[in-house]
Structures are given as structure tokens and as C-alpha cells.
């Protein structure tokens, strides 16, 4: 991946950005043309001022003066209208580009495998998708096109001034080399401060995302004061970074004004001296034509036009460079090779639900195996239960089945077909997973059930809710199925949220059902309700159940006991209980004896 340096613009990266301009090439061309036109027409004002002074004011030609003032008004109106459309088009172009790029980035992010999110802060991705993308818009509105216009204006002004009087021009522009040096120093300093600001924005977003998401933990353990102190530290760093950038501006702009005043001073001194000298020569030679008052006025106006873009160029170059830095960060996300390979061809037909794990080895990181030589088979319509201590590898098994993670060795098949040969979305559409930590979006209950799938009707949603036993409580809510559950289902109880997740699973009519601790966070009454729903949901479907409560899996066709990623025991509930000092027998005795229940 190319890197943006402080020395020059990364043209390869810029060309990559310009790829997103192709759909809007007409807008880009018009905006560039208007920018050039604005630069050219800006020169007309000083020229008209010179002509007004020398040809009409000095000669007392009132009618000619009225005419030239009318031309100046027309020039201002045309320049204003052109500037309006140029600004509008460049901003519209920038916003259109980042809209398309943001869609591309989001589409890429949601296609990344879970392993990427295990080590990437969500706040950082939010910064990339929002703040960093906004800097790319500035490349078009305040950067690239605007710099082109300013450079053209500078060149045009200097050429015109030299054509009028090269000696006066050279004297007047003596401060320019010093200004350019100051501009370069400012550009490098402000670039560094901008990078620090962007870094602190990412830190601030990450902190806020984590702590607002975990606000309940902060309040449960009364950590408000301590976390506020941490936030103040992060916030102070962000403030200081912005103050440093503003400090550079507060120095640079007065320096520009000083150099501009010096240029005007040199212009007035040398110009007036030349006027007096040229007047004496004109008295001796009628054909001599030297510096005129109109030329002095025109040069003053030209100097204002000259210093304004020079003062802004440093800022615009940094805006362009910060846009490039933002683009570099965005393209690093887009270039992340953490996308699940989706080249499977099988994507039609109903699955029977036969699952086979054949000598499967899996590790989240390198060779630190989480699953070791796992082999088992589940026939269509059977229920497989996975039990074991935390970290035994139960959830990893279902993550592999959904291809959230790729195995290191072995093979997993569904209906005799390697899961890699299935089209990814088709495979996942055939597997419904209900997890312990239910995630609900800030939306209506109906949309959380259907996940905004237009093929799922309200009648199907209601029918599924009735089967699960959730219809009654949903109807009691304000608005019923149109009730907004707010962020992460904050307005619902854990049991209610879990019931909605069961309705969601049922309405998608999967061939394979995965229940990952689906009843562990609900009360006994709701658990009985859910257990009845599970029995209905499992009918005719292959099911994989992960549960700590062994009472919920006694009717499973097959139970696998995992320990440190290895299969220790496999069989039915009764078969495993008959194994003296077996893993399952110990778990069962420990759980039921501690609860004071006799078998």
C-alpha cells in the first residue's frame, strides 16, 4: 500500500481517488473550467481600475468613467455567479465521491471475517468511515481544483505584471521568496499538527464507542469518576492538538500580512519615485511613456490578488494532503485481505441438514489450536448437543460451520458438500443461529424479526411469533409489532429479546438450527416458554445446541463433551451417565448436586 509522505503528493494514490470521479467526469470538467474562468476574470478588475484612472479620471472624462464602472460591475456580477457555481459543483462532486466511497467501504467492512474485528477497534472503523472520508471530500472542494485555480491566477498575475513593467514587478516581489519559505515551514508544521488531530479523533471515537456501549458496567461498578478522568485525558490531548494547529495559523497569517504590507510599501516607494523620474523624461521627450497612477493602483489590486492565494495555498495543500492521508487510511481498510473467500457455486435447493466434521483442526492465531482433530456426524433432523467448560471450543465449532472463521486442517461438509463449495450467503441463509447475547437494532420489532427482508410478510412474522409464544407480549407493547426497541433492545427484558431472536430464527425457516446458550439469560418461566418454542423449531431440522444447563439437552440424539478443544466423550444422555468418572457424569453430578436436585 502506498504511503502519503510530507515531501510530495502520492500521485498513484491520487489516481486511485480519481477513479471514483469517473461517474461524475462531466461535473469535474465543468468545475475545472469554471475554476480557470474565475482565475482569468479576476484579472479584469485591476485592468479596468488602471484604465479608469489613466484614461478617464485624470482626463476628466465622466462618460467614459461611467462606462468603465459599468464594466466593473458586470465583471463583479459574472465573477460572483461563476464563483457560486464553481463552489457548488466542487462541493457536490466531493460529496458524491465520498457517498460512493463510503458505500464501498461499508460493503467491504460487512464482508470482513470476524477475525478482523477481533483485533480492530470499532471506534477506529467508525473514524475511517465518517471522519477520514470527510477529508477526501475536501480534496475536491478545497484542495485539488482550488489549487489549480490559485496556481493559474498566480501565474497570470505575475505574467501580466511583468508585461506592464518588469522593473517595478521585480522590486515589488522582493518579499515573495521569504514568504514562500515561511509558507513551506507553515505547511510542514500544520501537516504534522493535522495528523495528530486525526489520530486524536480516532482515539476519542474509540474511547466513546467502547464506554458508551459498556455504560452499564461503568454504572454497575460505580466507575463514573475514574472513567471521566480517563475521558478528560483523551479530550485534553484532542484539544491540545487543535490548539497547536490554530497556533500555527495565528503566526502565519500575520506574517503574510507583514510581507504584503512590505510589498505595497516597496511598490509605493519605487512607483512614486519612477513617476517623478518618468515625468521629467516625459517633459524632455513627448514619446516617453512611464509608470502612471493607474498602474500603481492596478499593481496594488494585483498584489492583493497575489497574496490572497499564496496565503491560502499552504492551507489548501495541507487540506489536500490530509485528504490524501484520509484516503490512504481508507484504502488500507479496503485493501485488508480479511474477506471470506466466496467462490462457491452451490446456491440452490433445500438442504437436508446432514453435518460432518472430519478431522478438523482450528486456531484463531497461528498454531494455538482451539479445536484438535474434531470428527463427528449429525444426520438430517438430529439434535447434537455440545457441552464442556468455558473455552472448550463449543462456540468455535458453530463459528466454523457458518464460515465466520476458516479451519486450519480437515473438512466440514453439509449434505456431503464441502461448506467452501456453497455460495456464502446461501449457506448462511440455511443456518439460523440464536445466541446468548441477543443483538437488536434500533428499529421496530417487525424489522428486527425480518431484518428488513422484503420477502418476509407481516403475516409470516405474526405466525412465527405465535408459534414461539411471543405474540402476546408483543401485542401488549405500544404499537405492537411496530414498537421501536431502541438501541440494542434496551427497552425490552432479556427474556423478551431472546424470544424475538427465536421468532427471527423461525421466520427464516432454516434447515439447520444453532442454539448457543439460548436459554441461559432468561428466567425459569420464560425458559419453559422458550423450551416449548425450541421443540417446535427443531421439528424436521438438524440442530446443534450449546448449553451449560444439562437439563435442556437430555433429549438430544447425540451429546459431545469437549475439553480444551478435544472430544472426550460422545453418546446419548443415558450412555454418558453410565461412564464411571466420565466428564459428562462429573458435570451432571456437579450441576444437579449443587442445585440440590436428585436424579
Residues 6+ apart with CB under 8 A from 365: none
Is there a single domain that holds both residue 253 and residue 393? no
Is there a single domain that holds both residue 111 and residue 157? yes
DSSP string covering 528-593: HHHHHHHHHHHTTSEEEEE-S-GGGSTT-SEEEEEETTEEEEEE-HHHHHTSTT-HHHHHHHHHHH
Phi, psi of 49 (to 5 degrees): -65, -40
Is there a single domain that holds both residue 115 and residue 210? yes
Estimate the crossing angle of helix 293-334 against helix 176-213, to 10 degrees.
30
Domain assignment of residue 18, yes or no: yes
Is there a single domain that holds both residue 448 and residue 583? yes
Is there a single domain that holds both residue 323 and residue 380? no
Domain assignment of residue 171, yes or no: yes
Q: What is the pLDDT at residue 9?
A: 61
111 within 8 A of 298, measured Cβ to Cβ: no
Q: Which of 278, 304, 334 is the C-terminal boundary of a domain?
A: 334
Domain assignment of residue 341, yes or no: no
Whole-number Å distance between alpha carbons of 214 and 343: 38
Whole-number Å distance between alpha carbons of 118 and 340: 15
Q: Domain tally for the chain?
A: 2
Which of these, 325, 308, 409, 406, lies nearest to 364 by C-alpha position?
A: 406
Is there a single domain that holds both residue 414 and residue 274? no
Q: Which residue shows C-alpha cell 421496530?
A: 444
526 within 8 A of 552, measured Cβ to Cβ: no
Q: Which of 304, 334, 364 is the C-terminal boundary of a domain?
A: 334
The DSSP secondary-structure symbol of 24 reads: G
Whole-number Å distance between alpha carbons of 532 and 50: 93
Which CATH number do you get for residue 497? 3.40.50.300
Residues 6+ apart with CB under 8 A from 407: 360, 361, 362, 371, 400
The continuous run of DSSP H or E covering 321 comes out as helix 293-334
Domain assignment of residue 599, yes or no: no
Is there a single domain that holds both residue 263 and residue 383? no
Q: Which of 334, 366, 400 is the C-terminal boundary of a domain?
A: 334
Domain assignment of residue 291, yes or no: yes
Whole-number Å distance between alpha carbons of 279 and 285: 10
Q: How many CB atoms lie within 10 A of CB 454?
A: 6
Domain of residue 164: give its range: 11-334
Which of these, 387, 377, 379, lies nearest to 541 by C-alpha position?
A: 379
Is the Cα dihedral 158, 161, 164, 166 positive or negative? negative
Domain assignment of residue 343, yes or no: no
335 within 8 A of 342, measured Cβ to Cβ: no
The DSSP secondary-structure symbol of 408 reads: S
What CA dihedral angle connects 468, 474, 475 and 478, to 10 degrees? 180
Is there a single domain that holds both residue 366 and residue 305? no
Whole-number Å distance between alpha carbons of 216 and 182: 52
Is there a single domain that holds both residue 317 and residue 362? no
Which CATH number do you get for residue 184? 1.20.1560.10
Domain assignment of residue 170, yes or no: yes
Q: For the chain, which ranges sit under pLDDT 50? A: 1-7, 283-288, 595-599
DSSP string covering 513-536: EEEESTTTTS-HHHHHHHHHHHHH
Q: What is the pLDDT at residue 594?
A: 52
Residues 6+ apart with CB under 8 A from 37: 82
Q: 369 has which bridge partners?
A: 363
Is there a single domain that holds both residue 319 and residue 363? no
Is there a single domain that holds both residue 156 and residue 262? yes
Domain assignment of residue 123, yes or no: yes
Is there a single domain that holds both residue 420 and residue 315? no
Distance from the Cα of residue 277 to its chain's centroid: 65
Amino acid at each position: 500500500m502506498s504511503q502519503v509522505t510530507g515531501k510530495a503528493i502520492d500521485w498513484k494514490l491520487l489516481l486511485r481517488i480519481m477513479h471514483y470521479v469517473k461517474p461524475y467526469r462531466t461535473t469535474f470538467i465543468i468545475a475545472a473550467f469554471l475554476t480557470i474562468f474565475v482565475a482569468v476574470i479576476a484579472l479584469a478588475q485591476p485592468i479596468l481600475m488602471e484604465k479608469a484612472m489613466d484614461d478617464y479620471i485624470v482626463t476628466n472624462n465622466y462618460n467614459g468613467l461611467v462606462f468603465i464602472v459599468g464594466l466593473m460591475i458586470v465583471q463583479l456580477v459574472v465573477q460572483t455567479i461563476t464563483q457560486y457555481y464553481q463552489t457548488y459543483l466542487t462541493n457536490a462532486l466531493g460529496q458524491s465521491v465520498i457517498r460512493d466511497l463510503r458505500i464501498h467501504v461499508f460493503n467491504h467492512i460487512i464482508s470482513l471475517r470476524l477475525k478482523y474485528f477481533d483485533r480492530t477497534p470499532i471506534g477506529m472503523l467508525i473514524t475511517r468511515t465518517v471522519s477520514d472520508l470527510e477529508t477526501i471530500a475536501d480534496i475536491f472542494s478545497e484542495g485539488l481544483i482550488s489549487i489549480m485555480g490559485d496556481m493559474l491566477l498566480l501565474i497570470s498575475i505575475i505574467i501580466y505584471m511583468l508585461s506592464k513593467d518588469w522593473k517595478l514587478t521585480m522590486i515589488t516581489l522582493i518579499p515573495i521568496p521569504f514568504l514562500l519559505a515561511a509558507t513551506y515551514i507553515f505547511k510542514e508544521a500544520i501537516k504534522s499538527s493535522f495528523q495528530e488531530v486525526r489520530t486524536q479523533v480516532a482515539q476519542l471515537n474509540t474511547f466513546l464507542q467502547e464506554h458508551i456501549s459498556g455504560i452499564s458496567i461503568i454504572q454497575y461498578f460505580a466507575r463514573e469518576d475514574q472513567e471521566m478522568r480517563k475521558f478528560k485525558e483523551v479530550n485534553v490531548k484532542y484539544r491540545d492538538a487543535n490548539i497547536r494547529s490554530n497556533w500555527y495559523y495565528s503566526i502565519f497569517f500575520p506574517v503574510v500580512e507583514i510581507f504584503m504590507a512590505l510589498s505595497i510599501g516597496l511598490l509605493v516607494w519605487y512607483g512614486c519615485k519612477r513617476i517623478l523620474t518618468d515625468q521629467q523624461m516625459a517633459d524632455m521627450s513627448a514619446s516617453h511613456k512611464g509608470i502612471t497612477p493607474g498602474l500603481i493602483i492596478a499593481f496594488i489590486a494585483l498584489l492583493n490578488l497575489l497574496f490572497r492565494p499564496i496565503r491560502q495555498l499552504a492551507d489548501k495543500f495541507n487540506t489536500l494532503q490530509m485528504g490524501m492521508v484520509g484516503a490512504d487510511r481508507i484504502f488500507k481498510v479496503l485493501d485488508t485481505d480479511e474477506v471470506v473467500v466466496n467462490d462457491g457455486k452451490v446456491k440452490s435447493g433445500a438442504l437436508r441438514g446432514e453435518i460432518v466434521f472430519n478431522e478438523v483442526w482450528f486456531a484463531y492465531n497461528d498454531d494455538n489450536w482451539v479445536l484438535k482433530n474434531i470428527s463427528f456426524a449429525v444426520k438430517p433432523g438430529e439434535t447434537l448437543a455440545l457441552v464442556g467448560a468455558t473455552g472448550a471450543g463449543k462456540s468455535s465449532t458453530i463459528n466454523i460451520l457458518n464460515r465466520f472463521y476458516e479451519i486450519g486442517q480437515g473438512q466440514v461438509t453439509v449434505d456431503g458438500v464441502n461448506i467452501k463449495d456453497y455460495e456464502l450467503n446461501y449457506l448462511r441463509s440455511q443456518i439460523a443461529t440464536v445466541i446468548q447475547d441477543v443483538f437488536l437494532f434500533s428499529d421496530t420489532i417487525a424489522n428486527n424479526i425480518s431484518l428488513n427482508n422484503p420477502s418476509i410478510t407481516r403475516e409470516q412474522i405474526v405466525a412465527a411469533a405465535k408459534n414461539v409464544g411471543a405474540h402476546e407480549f408483543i401485542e401488549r407493547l405500544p404499537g405492537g409489532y411496530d414498537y421501536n426497541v431502541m438501541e440494542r433492545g434496551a427497552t425490552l427484558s432479556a427474556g423478551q429479546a431472546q424470544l424475538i431472536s427465536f421468532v427471527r430464527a423461525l421466520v427464516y425457516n432454516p434447515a439447520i438450527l444453532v442454539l448457543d446458550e439460548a436459554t441461559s439469560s432468561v428466567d425459569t418461566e420464560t425458559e419453559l416458554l422458550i423450551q416449548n418454542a425450541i421443540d417446535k423449531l427443531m421439528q424436521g431440522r438438524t440442530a446443534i445446541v450449546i448449553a451449560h444447563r444439562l437439563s435442556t439437552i437430555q433429549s438430544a440424539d447425540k451429546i459431545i463433551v469437549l475439553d480444551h478443544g478435544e472430544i472426550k466423550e460422545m453418546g446419548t444422555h443415558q450412555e454418558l451417565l453410565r461412564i464411571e468418572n466420565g466428564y459428562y457424569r462429573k458435570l451432571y453430578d456437579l450441576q444437579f448436586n449443587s442445585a440440590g436436585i436428585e436424579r
